[in-house]
Amino acid sequence: MEKTLDVLTKEQILVATEDTLRRFGVAKTSVTDVAKVLGVSHGSIYRHFNSKAELLEGVTAKWLNDKIIAPLSEVCHDSSLKSTSLLKQYIQTLVELKHDYARDDEEMFQMYTRVTEQAADVVEQHIDHIVKQLADIITREGIASDHPVQLARTLFYATARFHHPAHAYEWKNPLIDQEFLNVWTLLEHGIS
């Protein structure tokens, strides 16, 4: 029962891929498995994604957008917070989201981490998105006038230990929240 090709969207393929990955794991998931779930030929998948690697990158990009960027965008436009409180809330939300997913969905988080290591473009776009939103807050709230993008990127790098997936093993330490607050407090002093 092959579905009509033009109704098969990239989004549908990515949702089916994520389901398949959750059931079989990365190693045992093939393009053919995803096609079977959708009831289409694997040619229909290749029309949108050239390889399994591209499919994994697509799933990872979607995960980063849905699970990390979407809630961060809400914080970015939260009018109840001002100045460095808004900046702190944004970075703290980023940190908490990463910690939550690393703990509650460990297997998928590790999958995304591995894909991320090989998909430099996906990560670069993700970081650029976050830096842009941070710079937006910095400019909008009048926190710094000179180099908002540079300050945004510097804040992102100085807090890497708390949101870069390579440090996930350190997030199990009960001191991690306090350690983040200590780093943030020092950075906030540095900004003002």
Part of the chain binding a second copy (CB under 8 A), chosen from 24-32, 62-70, 133-141, 177-185: 177-185
Residues 135-174 that bind a second copy (CB under 8 A): 150-151, 153-155, 157-161, 164, 166-167, 169
Per-residue three-class SS string for 10-47: HHHHHHHHHHHHHHHHHHHCCHHHHHHHHCCCHHHHHC
Q: How far is the CB of 121 from a second copy (least distance, A)?
A: 14
Nearer to a second copy, 12 or 125 (CB): 125
Residues 80-139 that bind a second copy (CB under 8 A): 117
Query: Which residue, 122, 107, 137, 129, is CA-closest to 24?
Result: 107
Query: Which residue, 62, 51, 73, 162, is CA-closest to 116?
Result: 62
Nearer to a second copy, 43 or 190 (CB): 190
Q: What letters, b where the CB count within 10 A reaches 16 and e where it falls short, cover 151-187?
A: bbbbbbeebeebbebeebeebeeeebeeebeeebeeb
Is residue 12 within the footprint of a second copy (CB under 8 A)? no
State the DSSP code for 65.
Answer: I
Nearer to a second copy, 78 or 188 (CB): 188
Nearer to a second copy, 9 or 173 (CB): 173
> What are the residues whose beta carbons fall under 8 Å from the beta carbon of 114, sequence distance 6 or more?
26
Strands (E) located in 90-171: none
Q: How far is the CB of 112 from a second copy (least distance, A)?
A: 16
Is residue 48 within the footprint of a second copy (CB under 8 A)? no
Nearer to a second copy, 66 or 170 (CB): 170
Is residue 5 within the footprint of a second copy (CB under 8 A)? no
Query: Where on the chain is the footprint of a second copy (CB under 8 A)?
Result: 117, 150-151, 153-155, 157-161, 164, 166-167, 169, 179, 182-183, 185-191
